[in-house]
Amino acid sequence: MDDETIYRKNRDDLIRYATVLVGPGGAEDVVSTVILRILARRRLDDLDEPRAYLFRGVLNECKTRLRRRRTHLNITEVGGIPADDPRHHVIQAVLDLPPQQRAATYLVYWAGLTVAETADLIGIRPGTAKRYLHLARRTLKGVLDEY
Amino acid sequence: MNTEHDDRDVEEAFRRSFALLVDRAPASDPEWPPVAIAQVTTSRPTPRGWMVAAMAFLITLAFGLGGLVSPSPSPADSDQFQVQTEATLAVPAPSGAFYPTPADAAIAYATAQKPGIEAPHVTRMFVIYAGQDIVDLRVLVEADDFCHVYGVTGRVEQDELAWRGGPAQPCDGS
């Protein structure tokens, strides 16, 4: 599979993944940065697991950007949810999760991957992925109970 | 309280939240196919030059604004393009600095141009020129009531591409 095919096959998934991690405004920029960084060193079709490599790259780039801004992603950057909407608190709680936990919950609960597949895409052990899921569920349960 | 039921509630809350977030992801535009641009150099390209050209191709691929990319210049136009690129470089960036990504450079320039602009973000990029150790992009920066296309130039500095912003024009070209 050539570079263009790999890119086209994964682009939309990567954009959605980056949107969940840094918001819609920065998603395309994150993906382009990751592609550039990889291609500065090697070709995509030289990679053993290009999809996993790209997903890990996107998560790392998002973590770097979130560290740099020093504030959590705010729901107002996502838009479309009135402050009095009960979903407001829940979605903000999801955005407040550490990026690794958000990535794990997104891949399992939205993308429908198994814990093992999720661990592979994030570049962690399955046990660590399970721990991220447990911590994220606990956090969101607290918010659901409160509101 | 039933723990299993609680877990399902939580998982459903995750799904609803991600549905909303994913719904706001930038959409692919099938009307903008990827465009490969010709590499234009006035001298034999170095491996580093090839690397830059390959990166430029992928930027174009990633953000393919096919209809907006200028026709690839012929080798006879190379000198002219080099001059234009150098002219872009001569425009001082807001802080006189290079930035790590084209988006950083364009947003810094937009912010300097319009202080107080809120949440500017890059929506598209496309390649105008890819030469030896230099890439010339156009970067679309948008915010509320703001949409400008910036010239952003990347050049190799200490083996890394560094980027700086250049002049802008409004998105409607006026």
Residue of chain A minimizing CA distance to B12: A109
Q: What is the pLDDT of residue B55?
A: 60
Could you report how far apart the first and last alpha carbons of chain A are, in Å? 49
Residues A50 and A33 in one domain: yes
Closest CA to A4 of B27, B36, B114: B36
Contacts of A104 (CB under 8 A, 6+ apart): A118, A122, A129, A132, A133, A136
CA dihedral angle for residue A70, residue A76, residue A78, residue A81, rounded to 10 degrees: 150
Residues A141 and A130 in one domain: yes
Select from B101, B119, B121 the Cβ nearest to the Cβ of A33. Answer: B101
**C-beta atoms of A4 and B16 within 8 A:** no
Residues A89 and A132 in one domain: yes
Q: What is the pLDDT of residue B56?
A: 57
Q: What is the pLDDT of residue A124?
A: 94
The CATH number linked to A89 is 1.10.10.10
Residues A140 and A79 in one domain: yes
CA A15 – CA A27 distance, rounded (Å): 6
Highest mean pLDDT among A3-17, A131-145, B37-51, B136-150: A131-145
Residues A80 and A147 in one domain: yes
**The last residue of a domain, from among A71, A90, A115:** A71
Highest mean pLDDT among A35-44, A78-87, B14-23: B14-23
**The last residue of a domain, from among A71, A103, A118:** A71
Residue ranges of B 89-108 with Cβ closer than 8 A to chain A:
101, 103
**Band (A75; pLDDT cuts 50, 70, 90):** confident
Select from B21, B54, B62 the Cβ nearest to the Cβ of A32. Answer: B62
For every one of its 174 residues, what pLDDT tens digit does chain B have, with 9 covering 90 and above? 444 457 889 999 999 999 988 988 877 654 433 333 222 233 334 455 555 555 655 555 555 443 333 333 333 333 333 333 333 333 344 445 688 888 888 888 888 878 888 888 887 776 666 655 677 777 888 888 888 888 888 877 776 778 888 777 777 654
B55 touches chain A (CB under 8 A): yes
B28 touches chain A (CB under 8 A): yes
Residues A85 and A147 in one domain: yes
**C-beta atoms of B24 and A80 within 8 A:** yes
CA B149 – CA B110 distance, rounded (Å): 9
Q: What is the pLDDT of residue A89?
A: 86
Mean pLDDT along residues A85-112: 92
Residues A17 and A29 in one domain: yes
Residues A111 and A66 in one domain: no
**The last residue of a domain, from among A36, A53, A71:** A71
Q: What is the pLDDT of residue B90?
A: 36
Residues A95 and A63 in one domain: no
Task: Read off the tokens for B169.
Answer: 């024009």
Q: What is the pLDDT of residue B122?
A: 83
Q: Which domain holds residue A67?
A: 1-71
Q: What is the pLDDT of residue B51?
A: 59
ipTM of the complex: 0.91
Q: What is the pLDDT of residue B70?
A: 34
Select from A15, A32, A109 the Cβ nearest to the Cβ of B25. Answer: A15
Q: Is the pLDDT of residue A133 over 90?
A: yes
Count of domains observed in chain A: 2
Determine which of B8, B24, B59, B156 to mutate to test the interface with A (most A C-beta atoms within 10 Å): B24
Looking at the complex, report in whole angstroms how far the Cα of residue A120 sits from the nearest Cα belonging to chain B. Answer: 21
Looking at the complex, report in whole angstroms how far the Cα of residue A41 sits from the nearest Cα belonging to chain B. Answer: 8
**Band (A40; pLDDT cuts 50, 70, 90):** low
Residues A145 and A84 in one domain: yes
Residues A88 and A127 in one domain: yes
Q: What is the pLDDT of residue B72?
A: 34
B11 touches chain A (CB under 8 A): yes
C-alpha separations of B43 from A53, A143, B76, B79, B97 in Å: 35, 62, 12, 11, 28
**Band (A41; pLDDT cuts 50, 70, 90):** low
Residues A115 and A103 in one domain: yes
**Band (A120; pLDDT cuts 50, 70, 90):** very high
Residue of chain A minimizing CA distance to B161: A40
Q: What is the pLDDT of residue A69?
A: 76
